Amino acid sequence: MNVPKLRFSEFNIEWEEEKLGNISDKISDGIHSTPKYKDGTDYFFVNGNNLMNKSIRVNENTKTVSKEEYEKYKKNLNERTILISINGTIGNLAYYANEKVVLGKSAAYINLKSDKVKEFIYNYLQTPKIKSFFNGELTGTTIKNLSLGTLKNTPLLLPNLEEQEKIASFLTKIDEKIVGLDKKKQMWEIYKKEMIQQLLNQELRFKDEYGNDYPEWEEEKFSETFEFISTNSLSRADLNDESGGVINIHYGDIHKKFSHILNFDKVHVPFINENVNLDNIKEENYCKDGDLVIVDASEDYEDIGKAIELINIGNKKVLAGLHTILARDKLGYTIGGFRSYLLLENSIKLQLKKLATGVSVLGVSKTNLGKIDLKIPSIQEQIKIASFLSSIYAKLELINKEIEINKKFKKGLLQQMFC
């Protein structure tokens, strides 16, 4: 029978087959051209990557358009609209909440008919069954695409209106908890960034145990404090997640995956394939605790010179790979837990931007990185700064864990509460 594994006890009627297109007034996508941008307006040009956690998210990189462009390209969105990403990233969802937006081609909209519960359909579109259906229908090679035809033909099994409402109400409470945690996370992220800048530009200073100021910060060139260690140029194809004798840090993981501290006791890092010849690797090229691994290439200015500090390597053999610079404190001027913050201060990031070269991909060389002017506090003040900032990161880690627990709980419910 068409009934879910987990169900509220008062319902026993079989669910009925339906297509998403049949329960919608319209399913379509955004414009397939580029509008004329205009800075500083309240009319945003959004795509699929702006859809997350039930809402449209805009940031400093989101383009804006004029009122005229908005009126020209706006779609007939309403309180019954669900938005979904259909190009590149597939299946991100959001409710439309009367925002003034122009949709790009990677965002589609579903205007549901009035006799269906919007929140129920929203949750249905997140189920493993529907995600599996979408994945089986994707077109394209490098960039995957979900067609409007596939969206309209998405198979559903629907209960009566009363059961839709009960399921939707139950899952919405979990969503509200996740959204609340996500907002809490955003607030702590903002606080973290503010504290990093205020501490590193010396707007805020710690005092010693007697209430006295710590010594003035020393100014050193990066190359005077750090020595550069050779790295390899192994590609992602030379790595695997299963096994191997040597671990390799790939620049893509620094951009997308790793925090400022890479703790080998907590984070999995890919292995080098056994068939890769490492005979030319010298012993001093293997990473040590406290080393900085810095990406030397980025597609945007924000991530130029992004650095991670390595801890708890233990007896593991670790190398830094393609598009990375391995830097080691040669004079002992910095302590573990503080080094990765050195390149985060805004004046340092500005120096990196000025020294970066390239057009579509921006790069920074060892030579140019060595020219960076560092401001280094005393060891005692470094300890205070690192301890304070690590407490913020620990708080964020706890929030992230709570978010993941709730998402996992909801994922299990989606598997059992829908046919």
Q: Using one digit for the tens of pLDDT, what is the confidence trace for 108-136?
A: 999 999 999 999 999 999 999 999 999 99
β-strand partners of 213: 207
Q: In this structure, is the dihedral angle defined by the CA atoms of residues 178, 181, 182 and 183, taken in order, positive or negative?
A: positive
Looking at the chain, the domain(s) classified CATH 1.10.287.1120 span 160-208+378-419
3-class state of residue 339 by DSSP: helix
Buried-state track 283-314, b at ≥16 Cβ within 10 A, e below 16: eeebbeebbbbbbbbbeeeebbbbbbbbbebe
Contact 175, 406 (CB under 8 A): no
Distance (Å, whole) CA 120 – CA 124: 6
Tokens at 220, concatenated: 């050193």
Tokens at 241, concatenated: 């997640």
The percentage of the chain sitting over the pLDDT mark of 90, rounded to a whole number, equals 85
405-417 per-position pLDDT tens digit: 999 999 999 999 9
Q: What is the DSSP string of 276-287?
A: S--TT--GGGS-
Contact 393, 259 (CB under 8 A): yes
Non-local (6+) Cβ contacts of 389 within 8 A are: 192, 195, 196, 199, 341
In residues, how long is the chain? 419
Spell out the alpha helix ranges (H) of 28-160: 67-73, 118-124, 128-137, 148-152
What's the confidence (pLDDT) of residue 355?
84
What's the confidence (pLDDT) of residue 292?
96
Tokens at 217, concatenated: 């910060």
Contact 67, 41 (CB under 8 A): yes
Task: Check whether 35 has a pLDDT greater than 80.
Answer: yes
* Range in 60-69, 126-135, 217-226, 361-370 with the lowest mean pLDDT: 361-370
Average of pLDDT values for 264-287?
Answer: 93
Can you identify the CATH homologous superfamily of domain 160-208+378-419? Answer: Bipartite methylase S protein (1.10.287.1120)
Can you identify the CATH homologous superfamily of domain 218-376? Answer: DNA methylase specificity domains (3.90.220.20)
Tokens at 398, concatenated: 């706890």
Name the pLDDT band for 207 (thresholds 50, 70, 90): very high
β 101-103/43-46 pair status: parallel
Q: What is the DSSP string of 174-219?
A: HHHHHHHHHHHHHHHHHHHHHHHHHHHTTSS--B-TTSPBPPPPEE
What's the confidence (pLDDT) of residue 298?
82
Q: What is the CATH number of domain 16-158?
A: 3.90.220.20
Non-local (6+) Cβ contacts of 357 within 8 A are: 363, 364, 365, 368
pTM of the model: 0.80
Contact 145, 135 (CB under 8 A): no
Looking at the chain, the domain(s) classified CATH 3.90.220.20 span 16-158, 218-376
